[in-house]
Structure 1
């Protein structure tokens, strides 16, 4: 067994190396470049970098922040990302000792890397690449299996069933906020540009059916709606007054004691909408790029929905809720501060979600216990 103190050192060094690779992802993914080929090179003179040019942090310091070959300045973001990742990996190894969580520690490091890379890319391009979020959610499920084998579930990390539930509820919660918020932005008018063959309309169908019949029937109803679109070779409109309005009425009925009950209806609706939104995410990721400029106003980016699925898969649904609450509160407070200073909000929601996930990872279990204690539960 590797001593925990030694693992902190190993994790820190590993974090520095992964931080270097994170810089590659941050630069190449938004530009749709391969992360494997060509090898690392100077973006100014295109000269291939030697191994001595790639030592995390030290190479940048030794070269005075400039390319060895063309002397062009190198952004200080590179060593900063490496340092942050190294320190974070060391902190994770301290907070979650290897003797307790085993290989699950690697999963927590991977989660941090996904959050950091997604936040930096989102801040620069207003997008979060599918190459990060969709495989990231799948990896979260995989580490649910690892958590069960290593005993990491004793520290509050989810096993597979809890990871799956967290993934679906994470995506479902944010897509529901997006659906209802976008409906309000359109002043309750129907979408002008419904997607074909599946999209937000099918997610709304899943949301409504899932409230009454659960995640399986909700997902099936959304897929059936998409199948009808394919059969008719056109978009069969499903009025949002029926779907979204129906969800609000359904929840009101559930709170009055009708149907499966309010809690089960909320869980079923969110899980079904989350499942359908991930199906849409995979479809939009694999289909050819759509250069159409016709779109309806949206309350939230779809990348945030998939990032919430990643967080739910790695941390489970309870910590996911903590992450979302922290993200909303931090977004409101820091957004107000930014508007007072710069007259605009310069941070996108993705970084707030990442911040919320880190708070939930380190303190989420304690915050949940404190809240339940306050309620007397």
Structure 2
């Protein structure tokens, strides 16, 4: 912070190049179908080993034009396994290196721009108080915010492009970043978005924690609050488990079958360890109390509302349509987002996500010719829009909705039911018309 702003932005631009390069590494490395064009993977047969130049951001992608045929073979194999009919002469509309190069260039621009927007311009403050005195007063807070948003942005970039390629979001992205969100929330309330609060005619800026608007509830400081926190953590761990319910030998055998499945699943041991450490962490932070517990409880509730909303939509839409409506990766993705931005902003991002779909689908079709677009990129785009336009969204949308109190929850449940009914009607129409 003591460096000149120009120097800081330049260093952050270089950091953006490195983060963009890491994003490309993760996109190719963590994909289920690994394409051979990544500079960090073994080159296709018949091609020479890649030099150090191939690993440089941006310019390295120009050195692998000879690998186009190998990339096309990998792309055809992925699309065929996903159920597409791919002509033998099919070629993508853009060279394979164009997207990763744009990712690295984009991160080189976005990383310093986001820093300027959040810490220097006060872009997350209401428009009337975006003045230098207020920005300087909260600059330490804004640096915490920027750090959290940078981690979230990087995770969403990796998740978005893997979802574009394979219609899935690997847990290796969402689980570690969700854990990090819990730790950051317990470290500081300043990892959450700001919101204006008026008391005795004086406006102040406070973090958008669990109880906003209205303040921190006494209930969360009681043992009941600890119980809710442990319940939310257990629910997230259960959501990550192998949840197959086998009832063919009666409901009395459901639990033994579930335990047997969990014992055979190699990930269960790691998940059990995460659950135990998390329960100890939740209990220790609750015992500490103060802002640490307030921050962790906010992150836990954001995780629960973000993941729970998508999970509920997935269940209702799946029952109505008779098929899987969205992948479970979307559930873990929004749980991750909720851990960083809290439940209020997560709810707004969910409603904004469909509005971004028109632009994303059109852009994807123009660039790649692909008509099918997964829901994960919409959720990420909705999250970005929510953060960038947070002051307006809080004042014009979230605050009026929350002031409805219990009526707001009723409206949400009715909307979920209406969605299920409409999808069920569409299923019947589709069955009759296209049988």
What TM-score bracket applies, with the shorter chain setting the length?
0.5 to 0.7
TM-score w.r.t. the length of structure 2 is 0.52
| Contact 1:137 1:309 (C-alpha < 8 Å) held by counterparts | yes
| Contact 2:174 2:333 (C-alpha < 8 Å) held by counterparts | yes
Matched, 1:361 2:383: no
CA deviations 1:329-377 (Å, max 9, x no partner) are 333676699999x998422101101100101111134212122566795
Q: Distance in 2 between matches of 1:88 and 1:9?
A: 12
Matched, 1:66 2:57: no
Change (3 A) 1:359 1:45: farther
Matched, 1:53 2:54: yes
Unaligned runs of 5+ residues in structure 1 are 187-296
Q: Distance in 2 between matches of 1:179 and 1:133?
A: 20
Q: Distance in 2 between matches of 1:339 and 1:76?
A: 16
CA deviations 1:42-77 (Å, max 9, x no partner) are 45656554433322113335x4x5369x99986222
Specify the alignment match of 1:173 in structure 2.
309
Q: Distance in 1 between matches of 2:372 and 2:167?
A: 11
Identify the match of residue 105 of structure 1 among 143, 146, 162: 146
Q: Distance in 1 between matches of 2:59 and 2:299?
A: 38
CA deviations 1:146-205 (Å, max 9, x no partner) are 44367976675663221111101111000001111111123xxxxxxxxxxxxxxxxxxx
Specify the alignment match of 2:345 in structure 1.
319
CA deviations 1:251-309 (Å, max 9, x no partner) are xxxxxxxxxxxxxxxxxxxxxxxxxxxxxxxxxxxxxxxxxxxxxx2121111111010
Identify the match of residue 106 of structure 2 among 81, 84, 106: 84
Aligned residues: 260
| Contact 1:104 1:146 (C-alpha < 8 Å) held by counterparts | no
Q: Distance in 1 between matches of 2:30 and 2:165?
A: 12
Q: Distance in 2 between matches of 1:104 and 1:49?
A: 39
Change (3 A) 1:337 1:136: closer
Unaligned runs of 5+ residues in structure 2 are 72-94, 120-138, 195-204, 210-294, 404-435
Change (3 A) 1:151 1:185: closer
Identify the match of residue 186 of structure 2 among 134, 145, 169: 145
Specify the alignment match of 1:2 in structure 2.
2
| Contact 1:133 1:307 (C-alpha < 8 Å) held by counterparts | yes
Q: Distance in 1 between matches of 2:316 and 2:188?
A: 35
Specify the alignment match of 1:24 in structure 2.
25
Equivalent residues in 2 for 1:1-377, closer than 5 Å: 1-3=1-3, 5=5, 6-31=7-32, 39-43=40-44, 47-61=48-62, 63=63, 66=65, 75-97=97-119, 99-148=140-189, 156=207, 159-186=295-322, 297-331=323-357, 345-371=371-397
RMSD: 3.8
Specify the alignment match of 1:266 in structure 2.
none
Q: Distance in 2 between matches of 1:329 and 1:302?
A: 21
Change (3 A) 1:106 1:338: closer
**Larger RCO (CA within 8 A; separation ≥ 6):** 1
Q: Distance in 2 between matches of 1:338 and 1:32?
A: 20
TM-score w.r.t. the length of structure 1 is 0.59
